[in-house]
Structure formats: C-alpha cells, structure tokens
Amino acid sequence: MNIIFMGPPGAGKGTQAERIVMEFEIPHISTGDAFRLAMSQGTPLGLKAKEYVDQGLLVPDEITIGIVKERLQQEDCGKGFLLDGFPRTISQAEALDSIMADMERKIDYAINLVVDRKLLLDRLTGRRICKKCGATYHVLFNPPKAENICDKCSGELYQRSDDTAEKVGTRLDEYINKTAPLLDYYRSKNLLLEVNGEEEIDTVTSNIVKILRGQVQ
C-alpha cells in the first residue's frame, strides 16, 4: 500500500503516521524528519535545508525530490510506504508520478487531514518531540506520562525551532500558496480522501484504518 498524508502544518500527519505504519508494517517517510536529522548532524544537506526550514519556507524542489527518490528505491519500501509531508508542490507531485511510473508502481491513497487554521497554532506551539526516537507529544492534547520524558524510550523531549508563532504563520502561508493546490491534483486523479483531523487522536487513527482497509469509500 502506497500512501500519501496531506494537510497543513499541525494537522496530525506525523502523529497518525507513527500509528498507521505500525498497523500496516510499512516505512514512514517524512521529509521534515529527514531534514531535521541532517540539520542535527550538520551535513551539507542539513546546512542547506536549515536556510529554509528555520524560516518556515519550503526547501527547493530539486533537493527534496532527490531525497525522496533515493529513499523510495530502498528495499524496505517494496511492500509499500507512507509519505508524510511529500509532495508539497505540483512539481514534487509530478516528480513522484514519474518515480512511481519508473518503478511500475502507483499511489493508492492521498489522505488529507482536515483541520481548521485556528486550531493549528495551539497544536504547533504546544508540540514536543523526543530527541531519541522522534515520537510526538503535546503539552495539553497528548502529554507524556512524565513531564518532558518520552513514554516509549525515556528520551528527552524538545520543541522544534520552527514551532514559534511567527514561523507557524510563514509555514501556513507556504501551505496555502504552494501545497493546497495539490488537493485538486489528487482529487482529479480520484485518489484524495478527506479525514476530519479535529477529532480525538484515536478516532482519527481508526477512521484512517477503516479507509485503508477498504471499509469506507
């Protein structure tokens, strides 16, 4: 099963992806996570990505597409994958189509998590992430059992550098201008399915699972 998760910053893509990849045993491919890892390691890719990520801007297509192309060719993607945060521009979507065609594969579902803009700021400024395993929490909506400690691996939690009110504003503008047009791209291919991302985290997960198991059209 080849899946794309779409939705604005803070819609819950990462939170749901963590759960869905466990359920379907496929790799979670997050371009945002890939950039953050490279940034933390100070690699040439990380230094380049930092110029954009820290400002809340999209990283140029040629960089992003190259990373995804390489990742999709790895063996663990053979039985499917979940793309979280890619594609984010029409050029990226067209590149993905051509990568899929070269591999004689296709996208099965583009799931759009729908959340009103006014909820996103609270979600993003309260988000915390585990330094060690990358698990996502929220200080109010999904708190860890012990403050600032990951439930899964006991790692320390941190706040993303782009989760400030100012950068969230830029990220939302980037989403509206460059990524929202992709919804029509996938709608016209009959691949887009909308899920209410404002419900409880568990409810959203079970609604996505129903779609992926073909129990909902």
- Residue-wise burial string across 77-92, b where 16 or more C-beta atoms lie within 10 A, e elsewhere: beebbbbbbbbbbeeb
Has 160 been annotated as catalytic? yes
- Residue-wise burial string across 98-112, b where 16 or more C-beta atoms lie within 10 A, e elsewhere: eeeeeeeeebebbbb
Contact range with Mg ion by CB under 5 A, out of 8-16, 20-28, 57-65, 162-170: 8-16
Closest CB to ligand AP5 among residues 54, 214 = 54
Has 127 been annotated as catalytic? yes
Has 171 been annotated as catalytic? yes
Q: How far is the CB of 187 from ligand AP5 (least distance, A)?
A: 19
- State how far the Cα of 94 lies from the Cα of 96, in Å rounded to an integer: 5
Q: How far is the CB of 176 from ligand AP5 (least distance, A)?
A: 12
User: Judged by CB under 5 A, does residue 8 bind Mg ion?
Assistant: no
Q: How far is the CB of 7 from ligand AP5 (least distance, A)?
A: 6
Binding mask 9-28 for Mg ion (x = CB under 5 A): -----x--------------
Based on its alpha-carbon atoms, the radius of gyration of the chain, rounded to whole angstroms, reads 17
Has 13 been annotated as catalytic? yes
Please answer whether residues 10 and 115 qualify as being in contact, where contact means their C-beta atoms are separated by less than 8 angstroms. yes
> Which spans of this chain sit near ligand AP5 (rule: CB under 6 A)?
7, 9-15, 31-32, 35, 52-53, 56-59, 64, 85-86, 88, 92, 123-124, 126-127, 136-138, 141-142, 162, 171, 197, 201, 204
- Residue-wise burial string across 8-35, b where 16 or more C-beta atoms lie within 10 A, e elsewhere: bbbbbbbbbbbbbbeebebbbbbbbbbb
